[in-house]
Homo-oligomer: A and B are copies of this chain.
Amino acid sequence: MTVAPLTPDERAALLPALAGWEPAAGRDAIAKRFVFADFIAAFGFMARVALAAEKADHHPEWSNIYNVVDVVLTTHDAGGISHRDVAMARTLDLLAATG
C-alpha cells in the first residue's frame, strides 16, 4: 500500500503539535526519547507499543538501554514522514502516559 508523505502544509500543522518529537538527524523522520523509572517500565511500554505497531502494521525503529527508549518514526513506503507516523507518535505518547 502506497502512503503519501505529508505535504508542507500538513507538516506545518501537525508536527509542531507532537510534544517532544524532533526531526531525526539526517533523515525525514521524527524521533523522541522516552525515559522511565526502570527497565520493567521501559519494556512494559515497548510491549504495549509492539502490539499497537503490529495492529497498525507500522513499526518503530527503536533502541533501549535499561530505562531509556529512543524511537524513530518514518514511513518507508512514503519516503518520509506520513500521517501514519503522526498517528503512531500520538499512540506512543498515550501509551507512555498511561503505563
Copies in the complex: 2
Is there an interface contact between B54 and A39, defined as CB atoms closer than 8 Å? yes
| Interface segment, one of A13-21, A40-48, A91-99 | A40-48
> Which residues of chain A in 23-50 are interfacial with respect to chain B, using CB atoms and an 8 Å cutoff?
39-40, 43, 46-47, 50
Whether A63 touches B61, Cβ cut-off 8 Å, given contacts A39-B54, A50-B43, is yes
Q: How many residues of A contact B (CB 8 A)?
A: 15
Residue among A40, A46, A47, A50 facing the most chain B CB atoms (10 A cut-off) = A50
The reply on A84 being an interface residue by CB < 8 A is: no
Is there an interface contact between A66 and B59, defined as CB atoms closer than 8 Å? yes
Is there an interface contact between B63 and A62, defined as CB atoms closer than 8 Å? yes
